[in-house]
Amino acid sequence: MIAIDDLKFKDNLIPAIVQDHQTGEVLMFAYMNRESLEKTLDSDIAHYWSRSRGKLWKKGESSGHIQHVRDILVDCDMDTLLLKVRQDGAACHVGYRSCFYRNIKGDIVGKKVFDPEDIY
Amino acid sequence: MIAIDDLKFKDNLIPAIVQDHQTGEVLMFAYMNRESLEKTLDSDIAHYWSRSRGKLWKKGESSGHIQHVRDILVDCDMDTLLLKVRQDGAACHVGYRSCFYRNIKGDIVGKKVFDPEDIY
């Protein structure tokens, strides 16, 4: 077992990459503090730290788009996490399954699965 | 085309998730500054900013484990990049194909492809 104390938090946060556990699609990127990681480990439901709102953030709390955590990988430097999840609905608040729905050329490469106006 | 000026750098850096373009395996996580992103776009070879060494870092420069960039995705908030690459050798300096070779239970889940002593 890797202990939470083994992980390297920077300014109390650790980056978390979120990936669909079956398709491998990268869904989003967020930060966790110690409390959100503990809640995630306890519940198997992804919790993050919202830097914009300055508070604990249970993903999907308002939208219902919960992330069920299947595994958590740790990188060689112990300063980044990779969550393997089953995503209910979509990860992106804009309505795409993944937040990475555009490439740098501006092409839409992702799949839209809901209309934000129906949800929020 | 999304312009580099559209991207949100924080302390001159933007996080970059690196994924195998064929298998979807997440290989590593790093940061780019503007110069490293420009060099990456110009050459289609991944360049990062090494925070530990405080300098531009062409991935694979000493090991030969170059990353050939196939596409760069941008997230909804324009503050994170996802590089789709063809990885020569392995991404991780410890010898695993991916830096995310362990889970939080401490199990080895990744594949070792070289012995670091043979390379560095």
pTM: predicted TM-score of the whole model, two decimal places? 0.96
Q: What is the pLDDT of residues A56-99, one digit of tens each?
A: 999 999 999 999 999 999 999 999 999 999 999 999 999 999 99
Statement: residue A120 has pLDDT above 90: no
CA-based torsion, A67, B106, B86, B52: positive or negative: positive
Q: What is the pLDDT of residues B9-23, one digit of tens each?
A: 999 999 999 999 999
Is residue A115 situated within a structural domain? no
Give the confidence band of A117 by pLDDT, cuts at 50, 70, 90.
Answer: confident
Q: Determine contact: A78 vs chain B, CB below 8 A.
A: no
What average pLDDT score do residues B46-56 get?
97
With beta carbons under 8 A apart, name residues in chain A contacting B93. Answer: 76
The dihedrals phi and psi of B42, each to the nearest 5 degrees, come to -70, -35
CA of B62 vs chain A CAs: smallest distance (Å): 19
Q: What is the pLDDT of residues A19-36, one digit of tens each?
A: 999 999 999 999 999 999
Residue of A26, A73, A76 with shortest CB distance to B103: A73
With beta carbons under 8 A apart, name residues in chain B contacting A80. Answer: 29, 99-100
**Rounded distance between C-alpha atoms, residue B109 and residue B91, angstroms:** 15
Is residue B92 situated within a structural domain? yes
> At which residue do the structure tokens 């050459």 appear?
B43
Decide if B29 and A80 are in contact by the 8 Å CB cutoff.
yes
**pLDDT of res. A13:** 98
CATH number at residue A13: 3.10.20.810
**Rounded distance between C-alpha atoms, residue B1 and residue B12, angstroms:** 21
- Give the pairing type, strands B55-58 and B47-50: antiparallel
Of residues B28 and B116, the one with the higher pLDDT is B28
**pLDDT of res. A65:** 96
**Rounded distance between C-alpha atoms, residue B67 and residue B86, angstroms:** 6
Residue of B94, B103, B106 with shortest CB distance to A71: B103
What percentage of chain B exceeds 90 in pLDDT? 92
Is residue A1 situated within a structural domain? no
Number of structural domains in chain A: 1
**How distant, in Å, are the alpha carbons of A72, B30, B67 from that of B60?**
27, 13, 7
Statement: residue A118 has pLDDT above 90: no
Domain span at residue B28 reads 6-110
What average pLDDT score do residues B91-106 get?
96
Is residue B120 situated within a structural domain? no
Is residue B60 situated within a structural domain? yes
Is residue B118 situated within a structural domain? no
* B77 marked among binding-site residues: yes
* B76 marked among binding-site residues: yes
Is residue B68 situated within a structural domain? yes
Q: Which of B36, B91, B32 is nearest to B67 (CA)?
A: B91
Give the confidence band of B79 by pLDDT, cuts at 50, 70, 90.
Answer: very high
Decide if B73 and A25 are in contact by the 8 Å CB cutoff.
no
Q: How many CB atoms lie within 10 A of CB A120?
A: 7
With beta carbons under 8 A apart, name residues in chain B contacting A104. Answer: 1-2, 41, 71-74, 81
Give the confidence band of B44 by pLDDT, cuts at 50, 70, 90.
Answer: very high
Is residue B70 situated within a structural domain? yes
**pLDDT of res. B10:** 96
Q: How many CB atoms lie within 10 A of CB A57?
A: 19
Best interface-test mutation with A: which of B84, B104, B113 has the largest number of A CBs within 10 A? B104
Q: Determine contact: B63 vs chain A, CB below 8 A.
A: no
